[in-house]
Chains A and B, each alone.
Chain A
Amino acid sequence: MHAQRSDIRTGQLFTLLFVAQAAPAILLSGRSTGGSDPLQGILSVGLTAAAGLVLTLPVLLLRRKTPALASRGPFALLPVVYIAGTVWLDGAFLGLFQVFLQDTVNPDFSARMTVTLLVLCAAYGALRGLECVARCAGVIFAFLLVGTGLVLGITATRMDPGNLPPPFYDGCGQTLRGTGLFLSRLSFLPALAVLFPRAKGGAARPLLGFAGGLAALYALILLLLGGCLGPYAGTQNFPVYALATLTEVRSMQRLDAVFVGVWFLVVTARIALGLTVCRACGQSLAGDRGAVGWVLGPAAGLLLVTLLVSEVRPVREVLLAPGPQLAILLLLGAGVPLGRLGRLRRAERSAP
Chain B
Amino acid sequence: MSRLLRAGTALLLCVGLLLPLSGCGALELYQRLLIHGIGVDRAGDDLVLTVRSSAGEGREEAFSCRGATVADALVQLTRSTGRRPFLAHNYLVVLGRACAEHGLTPDLDFFIRRSGTRPAVELYLARDTAGAVLCAQKDGAFLKMSQLQELSSAAQEIGLGEAVDLLGFENALLTPGRDPVLPVAAVQEGEVVLDGMGFFRGDVLAGFLPAEALRGLLAAQNRLSGGEAVVPGAAGGSATLALTRCMSRLDPDPADPLRFDLRVELLADVAAYPTGERALDEAAYAFLEQGLSAELEGQIRSILRAAGEAGCDVLGLGSTVYRRAPQAWRDLEDRWPQLLPQCAVSVTVSVEVRRIRQEVRYSAR
- Bound Cα distance from A113 to B113, whole angstroms: 25
The answer, yes or no, to whether B17 is at the interface (CB within 8 Å) is: yes
A118 to B26, alpha carbons, bound, how many Å?
20
Of residues 235 through 249 on chain A, the ones whose CB sits less than 8 Å from some CB of chain B are 235-236, 242, 245-246, 248
Nearest opposing residue in chain B for A166, CB measure: B326
Interface string of A133-144 (1 = CB under 8 A from B): 000000000000
Instruction: Give the residue of A113, A234, A254 whose beta carbon is less than 8 angstroms from that of B88.
Output: A254
- Contact across chains for A124 and B175 when beta carbons are under 8 A apart: no
In residues 114-137 of chain B, which contact A (Cβ within 8 Å)?
115-116, 118-120
Q: How far is the CB of B38 from chain A (nearest CB, A)?
A: 17
Q: Does A107 contact B (CB under 8 A)?
A: yes
B27 within 8 A of A: yes
Query: Which of A9-17, A213-221, A225-233, A270-278 is near enough to bind chain B?
Result: A225-233
Task: List, in ascending order, chain B residues with CB within 8 A of A113's CB.
Answer: 20
Q: Name B301-350 residues within 8 Å CB distance of A.
A: 316, 319, 322-323, 326
What B residues does A235 contact at CB under 8 A?
A: 112-113, 170, 174
- Known contacts A117-B20, A121-B17, A106 near B170 by CB under 8 Å: no
Q: How many residues of B contact A (CB 8 A)?
A: 34
Contact B167 A246 (CB under 8 A): yes
Q: Are A231 and B13 in contact (CB under 8 A)?
A: no
A-B pairs under 8 A by CB, number? 85
B284 interface hit (Cβ, 8 Å): no
Which residues of B (8-41) have their CB < 8 Å from a CB of A?
A: 9-10, 13, 16-17, 19-21, 23-27
| Interchain CA distance A164-B23 in the complex, whole Å | 38
Bound: A198/B319 CA distance, A: 55
Contact B119 A232 (CB under 8 A): yes
Cβ–Cβ contact B25 & A232, under 8 A: no
- Distance from A278 Cβ to chain B, minimum over Cβ atoms (Å): 18
- A2-30: which have CB < 8 Å to B? none
Q: Does B171 contact A (CB under 8 A)?
A: yes
A225 shortest CB reach to chain B, Å: 12
Q: Say yes or no for A330: interface residue by CB 8 A criterion.
A: no
Residue of A nearest to B173 (CB): A231
Residues on the B chain within 8 Å of A248, using CB: 120
CB closest residue in chain A, given B10: A124
Task: State the CA gap A110–B21 with chains docked (Å).
Answer: 10
The docked-state distance in angstroms from the alpha carbon of A205 to that of B171 is 42
Q: A117 contacts B16, CB within 8 Å?
A: yes
Given contacts A127-B1, A246-B167, contact A104 B27 (CB under 8 A): no
- B119 and A162 contact, CB distance less than 8 A: no
Query: In the bound complex, how far is the Cα of B113 from the Cα of A106, in angstroms?
Result: 12
Contact B21–A163 (Cβ < 8 Å): no
B175 touches A230 (CB 8 A): yes
A169 to B326, Cβ gap below 8 A? yes
Is A288 part of the binding interface, using a Cβ–Cβ cutoff of 8 Å?
Answer: no
Which residues does chain B contribute within 8 Å of A232, judged by CB atoms?
112, 119, 167, 170-171, 174
Min Cβ gap A258→B in Å is 13
Contact with B along A164-190 (1 / 0, CB 8 A): 111001000000000000000000000
CA distance A164 to B326 in the complex (A): 13
Residues from chain B with Cβ under 8 Å of A236 in the complex: 112
CB-based contact B118/A254 at 8 Å:
yes
A336 interface residue (CB < 8 Å to B): no
Interface residue? A103 (CB, 8 A): yes
Bound CA–CA A118/B18 (angstroms): 11
Closest residue of chain A to B316, judged by CB?
A162
Q: Which residues of A contact B21 (CB under 8 A)?
A: 109, 114, 264
Is there contact, CB below 8 Å, between A109 and B167?
A: no
Contacts of A348 in B (CB 8 A): none
CB proximity of A166 to chain B, nearest CB, Å: 4
In the complex formed, the residue of A with least CB distance to B15 is A117
Interface-central residue, A104, A105, A124, by most chain B CB under 10 Å: A124
| A110 to B26 Cα, complex, angstroms | 10
Q: How far is the CA of A235 from the CA of B174 in the complex (A)?
A: 10
> Does A120 belong to the interface (CB within 8 Å)?
yes
Q: Are B115 and A104 in contact (CB under 8 A)?
A: yes
User: CB distance A109 to B23 under 8 Å?
Assistant: yes
Within 8 A of A (CB), among B149-204: 167, 170-171, 174-175
Contact (Cβ within 8 A) B175 A246: no
Are A245 and B13 neighbours in the complex by a CB distance under 8 Å? no
Which residues of chain B have C-beta atoms less than 8 A from A229's C-beta?
119, 167
- Name the distance in Å between B27's Cβ and chain A's nearest Cβ: 7
Chain A minimum-CB-distance residue to B320 = A162
Contact present for A106 and B23 (CB under 8 Å):
no
Chain A contacts for B88, CB-based, 8 A: 254
Closest to A163 in B: B171
Which of A120, A230, A245 lies in contact with B120, CB distance below 8 A? A245
Contacts of B10 in A (CB 8 A): 124
Q: Is the CB of B119 within 8 A of A110?
A: no
On whether the beta carbons of B174 and A231 are closer than 8 Å, the reply is yes
Interface pair B16/A120, CB less than 8 Å apart: yes
Assuming the contacts A109-B23, A127-B1, A248-B120, asked whether A166 and B323 have C-beta atoms less than 8 A apart, the reply is: yes
Cβ-defined contact, A120 with B13, below 8 A: yes
Given contacts A232-B171, A245-B118, contact A107 B319 (CB under 8 A): no
Q: Which residues of the other chain, A, contact B319 by a CB distance below 8 angstroms?
A: 162
CA distance A137 to B104 in the complex (A): 47
Q: State the CA gap A109–B23 with chains docked (Å).
A: 6
Neighbouring B residues of A117 by C-beta, 8 Å: 13, 16-17, 20
Q: How far is the CA of A235 from the CA of B112 in the complex (A)?
A: 7
A234 to B167, CA, bound (A): 12
Contact B115 A110 (CB under 8 A): no
Contacts of A166 in B (CB 8 A): 322-323, 326
Q: Which 8 residue pairs are nearest across A and B when measured between Cβ atoms?
A: A231-B174, A108-B26, A106-B115, A109-B20, A166-B326, A245-B118, A230-B171, A232-B170
Where the two chains meet, the residues of B that have a C-beta atom closer than 8 Å to any C-beta of A are 1, 6, 9-10, 13, 16-17, 19-21, 23-27, 88-89, 112-113, 115-116, 118-120, 167, 170-171, 174-175, 316, 319, 322-323, 326
A-B contact pairs, 19 of them (CB 8 A): A107-B20, A107-B23, A108-B23, A109-B23, A109-B25, A117-B17, A120-B16, A127-B1, A162-B319, A163-B175, A166-B326, A231-B170, A232-B112, A232-B167, A232-B171, A232-B174, A235-B170, A245-B120, A248-B120
Other CB < 8 Å A-B pairs besides A104-B115, A114-B20, A236-B112, 19 of them? A108-B26, A109-B19, A109-B20, A109-B21, A109-B23, A109-B25, A109-B26, A113-B20, A114-B21, A121-B13, A169-B326, A229-B119, A235-B113, A235-B174, A245-B118, A246-B118, A246-B167, A254-B89, A254-B118
